[in-house]
Structure 1
Amino acid sequence: MRVEIIFLGAGGGRWETISQNKGTGGFRIHTEKTKLHIDPGPGALVRMNELKISPWNTNAVFVSHDHPDHYTDAEIMIEAMTGGMIKKRGYLISNISVLEGFGNYENAISKYHQSKPEKVYLLNPKDSVDILDVNLTATKTKHGDPFGIGLRVNTKKGDIGYTSDTEFIESLVDDFNGVRVLVANVVRKKNERIKGHLCSNDLIDLLNEMNKKPEIVVMNHMGLKMTNPIKECEYISKNTDINIIPAKIGLKIELTEESYIVSNLKN
């Protein structure tokens, strides 16, 4: 039984989304039964076609919050998941802003598209739901969307964590303690902290406060000013003694019983 993570982009934030230097298609988690797409932003479908990943096999879509670099391709993914909106199929998991709207945030996924999945789950931090062969637990964030959530995915090969967009908050330590893989959205390098996001030094603090650190961390959602991701990952790794690698289009991590295998679908 395999568990793999496939990245359809590595960028985030409005400037990187507009420029598409790193791609903003989110990432996927594939298990024996689950084909989960996390934060399908602009270009998700295009990248899947490039990498020869069938969108029709998708059976779960997760959107962390109501910003376009995380949701713009979600409705198309739902259309694929439901066989062109013909079958009642799959799962949609998100927060109140995306599904119902809140304040200035209008619902990012139409009620029509919400009517087609088999089930729609609205999660708040600490809420948990079982789908197929995985368990999903929402984690707390501090970001522009006040109801934004991250995710902890429990699989038969261990847990995968996703910070989503957030500032450093102490709850992140417990939320992701013990995950095998952490996907961390890090917009800026070193100590270049901006509101609502992690910088490299924030990730260092997070990892060093954990009792049980991840085996590998993928630096994701990098902004336009993150011009040398490899060098930045080396800096974080040196200060945490953890293998840190930058996300990129086509990056694949396969979890085995004892370790993990890193490869690239574009090679």
Structure 2
Amino acid sequence: MKKILITGENSYVGSSLKAWLSKHPVIYSVDTISLRDNQWKEVSFAGYDTVLHTVGIAHVEAKPEMEDLYYKINRDLTIEAAKKSKDDKVKQFIFLSSIIVYGDSSKINQPRIIDENTIPTPANFYGNSKLQAEKGILPLENDDFKVVIIRPPMIYGKESKGNYRKLVKVASKLPVFPEVNNERSMLHIDNLCEFIRLLIDNEEKGIFFPQNAEYVKTSEMVKVIAEVQGKKIKLTKIFNPFVVGVGKYVKITNKIFGNLVYKQSLSEYKNEYRIKDFRESIEDSK
């Protein structure tokens, strides 16, 4: 039996993985722990095969006055948890990083493809705090302590937070939506949970870039979300000049309609983890 400890009792990924692995109670034993105060430092991690570290600040506006907190939580706490895991003889430490370490989306109509040669260049302290955490835990690795870093694109699914929920609101309210040709890498929560399960089973180490099998066009995603909700939304290119113009001054526009993808070959794995296709993932995310 694999014993797994998840940091972050209420994290979306942590809660989802615990539910995912609970389908196989004979194979996996999963516990969670909160790192909100210092009491966790007195708890032994001994006996666990894997620690999955999901604690971090996300889906919060990165205001300048929050910079210290981002580094404290996303970087320092990650390194502390990894060091404790190693000291307590845990075999594998999995850190949930982010595609954000590569910076922002491209401007509208400009392709942005991340491949094996792309160097991380964070655009803000959110991305840099994640990258600094990676740099802090990788040197801890040895033959007895394997470090895994996952850099997922936008994660979505039922009860997920962040930008996907905003698209759901848009799909439920707007009769029309701009049809801008863009591509985004995304990752459904079930595909991520299956991927993490495989990383644990295979006792992996290294940096990984999971994503759905299909790139996503924002307008197409909004249309499918609406269809799943029993609504109709019309896609139109009539607003595209306005969208492009606004994108030069308003960053959120590029976040919605810009391009940001992983090269598909970067996300291939020896075992199949993409168990939900795009349509299925939207239907399961209602």
TM-score, normalised with respect to structure 1:
0.31
**Larger strand percent:** 1
TM-score, normalised with respect to structure 2:
0.30
- Structure with the larger RCO, 1 or 2 (CA within 8 Å, 6+ apart): 2
Q: Quick check: which has more Rg, 1 or 2?
A: 2
**Larger helix percent:** 2
